[in-house]
Amino acid sequence: MKCYLCGSKNYFNREGKVRDNPSIQILECEDCGLVFLDKQNTGDVFYEENNMLNENFFKFTKRDGESLEAKTREFYIHNALFVEKRFKLIKQLLVGKKLLDFGSGRAQFLLKAREIANEVAGVEIETRVQQFYEENNIPLFRSLDEIKESGGGGYDLITAFHVIEHLQDPITILKQLASLLKENGKMIIEVPNANDALLTIYKNKAFSEFTYWSPHLYLYNPHTLQKLGEKAGLKVDFVKCIQRYPLSNTLYWLSNGLPAGQKIWGGFLDSKVLQEAYESALASVGATDTLIAQFSKI
Ligand SMILES: [Zn+2]
């Protein structure tokens, strides 16, 4: 087996388990630091049927709700906080622009972006999402080929939030996305950080047996995300470390070895000041939970 990014054959096993399939090994390239799984058992059919958000997912992530539908709803309510954070971060790039969101789910980001963008569209493979696009009159493509075939493209901005880590061949997909950009168009990519402090600094065992998940085929750190952009022939404007989960979440992991601590301790602990200070402390050592990169078409 060779490293997807640098071709090295030197890698070691990372501590931890893939929560939904403990037989899968978590490997880390010794030369570039890319983290990858030794088996890739998610293909297009998996995402078309949205097998990602299944009972197993909710059991591991401790979502409330009686039915699968109720839990899925809870997931999207929680996700709205992340959508809000992203929107604030890249707002200035969206004003009056033509946007494509790749892996757009139920169009949560597109609905926000539409308030200030000139034109928005989504690419989502999951079959069940159609109604959200029809109800809101947002164009939906099922694949990048479909955009090409319909003569589309010329986007000012393409976003992909927590999508790239699911792809078997992200370099090829990034190149295809770049071909849909205008000259000087930009791409915003958000992924989980392989250097999350809970793994690399606090070395929390419970978290290392929770966070790895079979659909996350590759995990990037600031260096490997930059390398990925370069390999796709893009100019890397920046890779920024951001923290999605608050300090209460971290402390709860350290104390109880369980997720969702912000729901229990967040009320008295979390504040804007604390979150900003915690985020910048983690960012100074590259150990936030999330990375956001901007790539430009050369
Ligand atoms: Zn490598």
> How far is the centre of ligand 1, averaged over its atoms, from the C-alpha of 35 (Å)?
8
Give me ligand 1 centre to Cα 6, in Å.
Answer: 4
Edge-to-edge, what's the strand order for the sheet holding 11-13?
Answer: 11-13, 26-29, 35-37, 218-219
| Domain at 41-297, CATH class | alpha beta
Q: Please tell me the distance between residue 7's alpha carbon and the centre of ligand 1 in angstroms.
A: 6
Q: How close is the Cα of 31 to the center of ligand 1, in Å?
A: 5
| CA 9 – ligand 1 centroid, Å | 8
> Is residue 242 very low, low, confident or very high in pLDDT (cuts 50, 70, 90)?
very high
Let me know the angle formed at the C-alpha of 88 by 244 and 294, rounded to the nearest 5 degrees. 80
Measured in Å, residue 3 CA sits from the centre of ligand 1 at 5
Question: Contacts from 272-281 at CB under 8 Å and sequence distance 24+?
Answer: 274/246, 274/247, 275/243, 275/246, 275/247, 278/243, 278/246, 278/247, 278/250, 279/241, 279/242, 279/243
What do you get for the CA distance between the two ends of the chain, in Å?
A: 32
- Region at 122 (left for phi over 0; alpha for psi -120 to 50; beta for the rest): beta
- 69 pLDDT band, cuts 50/70/90, is confident
Q: Are 124 and 105 in contact (CB under 8 A)?
A: yes
Q: What's the pLDDT score for residue 75?
A: 77
Q: How far is the CA of 5 from the centre of ligand 1 (A)?
A: 5
User: How much is the pLDDT for 175?
Assistant: 98
Rounded CA-CA distance 88/100 in Å is: 17
Pairwise CA distance, residues 155 & 261, whole Å: 39
What pLDDT, on a 0 to 100 scale, did the predictor assign at position 76? Answer: 76
Q: How far is the CA of 149 from the centre of ligand 1 (A)?
A: 35
Q: What is residue 259's DSSP assignment?
A: S
Chain segment 153-173, per-residue pLDDT in tens: 999 999 999 999 999 999 999
The percent of residues in the chain predicted with pLDDT above 90, rounded, is: 81
Mean pLDDT (whole number) for 1-21: 96
Quick check: helix, strand or coil at residue 125? coil
Q: How far is the CA of 11 from the centre of ligand 1 (A)?
A: 8
Whether the full predicted model's pTM is greater than 0.75, yes or no, is yes
pLDDT tens column, 104-145: 999 999 999 999 999 999 999 998 899 999 999 999 999 999
Task: Report d(CA 267, CA 2) in Å as an integer.
Answer: 46
- Give the chain's mean pLDDT: 93
Task: Give the residues across from 140 on adjacent strands.
Answer: 122
Are 178 and 195 in contact, with CB atoms under 8 Å apart?
A: no
Q: How close is the Cα of 23 to the center of ligand 1, in Å? A: 22
Q: What are the structural domain ranges in the chain?
A: 41-297
- 213 CA from centroid of ligand 1 (Å): 20
Pair 88, 97: CB distance under 8 Å: no
